[in-house]
Amino acid sequence: MAGGRPRTVSPPPEECIELGEEMVKWVSENSPTHLSEWYSIEKFIPWKMWNAMCELPEFLPYYEKALNIIARNARDGTLDKSIAQRFLSLYHRDLKQQEREEKAYESSLRQKEIAQASDQEKAKADAIIEQLNVAQEMFLKKQ
């Protein structure tokens, strides 16, 4: 049975600060389209470890700064417009949040429209059934 301290997913705080500084410098010099170019290709950091690092207080300011540098490159024309447009919500968390809220609102409107349409279709079907019942009663009375 193995003993000792359990393995952690993230590097120690000092290493996170060094990595953060290195990342910001690399992003400034290389104008990447996505941070995965740095963490997966340059540093060979697994995705699970990367996600954990991005939440650490020691690393988070560097992460946000790097995202904002990439976002600035997307806005100022350093990145091709087609790439920039695709990635802007990734770099701007507030834009991403707004887009999610808009999609949720649009989805709720569609659901209401579907429910309303279903109610209207049900009312039409009920009216047709009622007409058939009346016609059947009239037919039976004539016989």
pLDDT the model gives residue 71 = 82
CB-based burial of residue 119 (10 Å sphere; 0-12 exposed, 13-18 middle, 19+ buried)? Answer: exposed
One digit per residue, pLDDT tens: the chain, 143 residues?
Answer: 455 554 457 889 999 999 999 999 999 999 888 888 999 999 999 999 999 999 999 999 999 999 889 888 777 877 777 776 666 666 666 666 677 778 887 888 888 887 777 777 888 888 888 888 888 888 888 77
**Number of domains the chain contains:** 1
Structural domain contains residue 4: no
Structural domain contains residue 1: no
pLDDT the model gives residue 85 = 67
Structural domain contains residue 3: no
C-alpha distances out from residue 136 to 104, 120, 123, 143, Å: 48, 24, 20, 11
Task: Classify 41 as helix, strand or coil.
Answer: helix
Structural domain contains residue 23: yes
Structural domain contains residue 74: yes
Structural domain contains residue 2: no
Structural domain contains residue 122: yes
The whole domain housing 27 covers: 13-142
Q: Which of 45, 50, 61, 58 is nearest to 17 (CA)?
A: 58
pLDDT the model gives residue 125 = 82
